[in-house]
Amino acid sequence: MTRIGVYPGTFDPVTLGHMDIIRRGAKLVDRLVIGVTTNPSKSPMFTLDERMEMVRREIAGVAGEIHVVAFDSLLMDFAEREGAKVIVRGLRAVADFEYEYQMAGMNQQINPRVETVFLMADVALQPIASRLVKEIALYGGNIAKFVTPAVREDVVARVEKIGRKGS
């Protein structure tokens, strides 16, 4: 039986922290499905298609069977459609844990056949958040420590297109 896991997120943009969880999550399952979604409470810098392409490009060298799929539904419905028995979530700090713990409990109520597995982010990558990467870039800061060179180019180009703040 193939063990399928889902790693959901907005990936706007995909960070080194996301890549750490993808690499490690891919070792836990036979197939890892990266579910790219749009969070209605967030304003994305990149379109869904751009984010999917960015993730596909970044995972090209990662070992394991990894698929990138868009979804716009309840996570547990998406997991069921993909045949997943595991949701992979990354944790950075206590604040993440409180939110993720609540979400895992709600998800278990919706679909008890799917387990949530938490992976602690690498200590060096714990402070990285897409929201902060975008904010730093919008104010002209250097994001090279938080994303790959290709993603940095994507973000810098987008910031140049939409206009930098504070200038």
Q: What amino acid positions are annotated as catalytic residues? A: 18, 42, 92, 130
- Contact, 6 vs 33, CB < 8 A? yes
Q: Half-sphere exposure (CA, 13 Å, Cβ side) for 41?
A: 2
* Preceding omega of 112 cis (within 30 degrees of 0): no
d(CA 126, CA 162) in angstroms, rounded, equals 28
How many residues appear in the chain? 167
